[in-house]
Amino acid sequence: MKLRKYAPEDAAVIARWLRSEEEVYLWSADRIGAFPVPEDALNKIYATVPKDTEFVPVTAVDGEGRPVGHLFLRIKQKEPERIVRVGFVILAPEVRGQGNGERLLIQALLYARNVLQAEKASLGVFLNNPSALHCYEKVGFVPAGEPESFEYPPGTWECQEMEMVIPACGCFGKKALAAQKE
């Protein structure tokens, strides 16, 4: 798996990865809200990002260049710490459950640390998405505060904010958590 810059034609591929209304909300909260997802929905959302925001959408591709994952990085604040917000994390259905989410996140966080000079990362995860929660914990994200409730058409869901210090050592998971305690 390798990261490359997001291309507008990726939107249609990513839209096909969402197989139900529940998956749409788990992935995008209420940002899209339509199922099936329109092929250009992601491009329309990304076109509204303020120009003064450091915003980096990326697509993960397999060895043959086919898109297999996606996420965005957005600098949440510039001073005194550079905090990157991770969002819209998704994998193609055929590559889920194989450690690819962890690989995608680690590559993106290394980019955030080395290129964007981010020191911390944050994201939100719905607690009824245990595979995503487990993936984020494996990388080194920890809960920040109490979960917050949100009402969506599929139901009322608890969202947990998570954060982590992006390790300068380039190590993630248990090694990263140990390095944060030092």
Residue pLDDT, tens place only, 31-76: 998 899 999 999 999 999 988 889 999 999 999 999 999 999 999 6
Please give the distance of CA 137 from its chain centroid, rounded to a whole number: 13
pTM: 0.91
Mean pLDDT throughout 97-126? 95
pLDDT bracket for residue 96 (50, 70, 90): very high
**179 in helix, strand or coil?**
helix
Number of residues in the chain: 182
Q: Which domain holds residue 22?
A: 2-181
User: Total domain count for the chain?
Assistant: 1
- Residue 144, amino acid: A
For residue 168, what pLDDT is reported? Answer: 82
For residue 182, what pLDDT is reported? Answer: 47
CATH number of the domain enclosing 52:
3.40.630.30
Mean pLDDT throughout 90-115? 95
Sequential DSSP letters for 19-67: -SHHHHHHHHTTSS--SSPPTTHHHHHHHTS-TTS-EEEEEEE-TTS-E
